[in-house]
Amino acid sequence: MKSVITPLLAAGLLVTFGAAGAPAPIALAIFDFELEDFSPTEATESIAPADAAHLAKVTRTVRQLLAESGRYKLIDVASADAPAAKTHTLRDCDGCEAEIALKLGAQQSLVGVVSRISRTEYVVRFHVRDARTGAVVANGDSGLRMGADYSWDRGAASLLKDQLLATAPKR
């Protein structure tokens, strides 16, 4: 008879089962969603207040969705002091978020990006890395979506439901 505490490799995610047979939640550091703006707007170094508010809503929605799934235990990332975390440029740091997440006590990290193509077209993407190795264990891309900035959170939630939560082991 196999041990009740058995590692299972499913959908690229290492899950450990506890005494009750339910998967132990994965400690996940979800960093603030970032904006990559390709729209024909005036170039500025800072994000417009409205965009910042929409990104904050996307981040809240994703954190709530993943916490409610029971598959993840969220790790607070507020104390992350790495420059890429503070400037919201983790998408460009070649996996540095894994080390940041590990220092915060996470097993995995999630970086999400909204790429605005125009005022009414966007793409949401994410990647999850193993905090110890930096290896990408899951990623997804929404494809081109129609909708203004107020719909980013719905696009992100749909993406994560369809491409992250659907592939993870059922509880």
Tokens found for residue 96: 């540095």
Among all chains, which residue has been given the structure tokens 């992250």? 164
- Residue 74: which residues within 8 A CB-CB, separation 6 or more? 28, 29, 30, 63, 66, 67
With cut-offs at 50, 70 and 90, classify the pLDDT of residue 21. Answer: low
| Distance, CA of 48 to CA of 95 (rounded, Å) | 26
Strands 121-130 vs 7-10: parallel, antiparallel or unpaired: unpaired
CATH of 25-165, one of 3.40.50.300, 3.40.1030.10, 3.40.50.10610, 3.40.30.10: 3.40.50.10610
pLDDT at 100 over 80: yes
Locate the domains of the chain by residue range: 25-165
Average pLDDT rounded to a whole number, residues 45-58: 91
Is this structure's pTM higher than 0.85? Answer: no
pLDDT at 17 over 90: no
Average pLDDT rounded to a whole number, residues 56-81: 97
Do the Cβ atoms of 33 and 91 come closer than 8 Å? no
pLDDT at 10 over 80: no
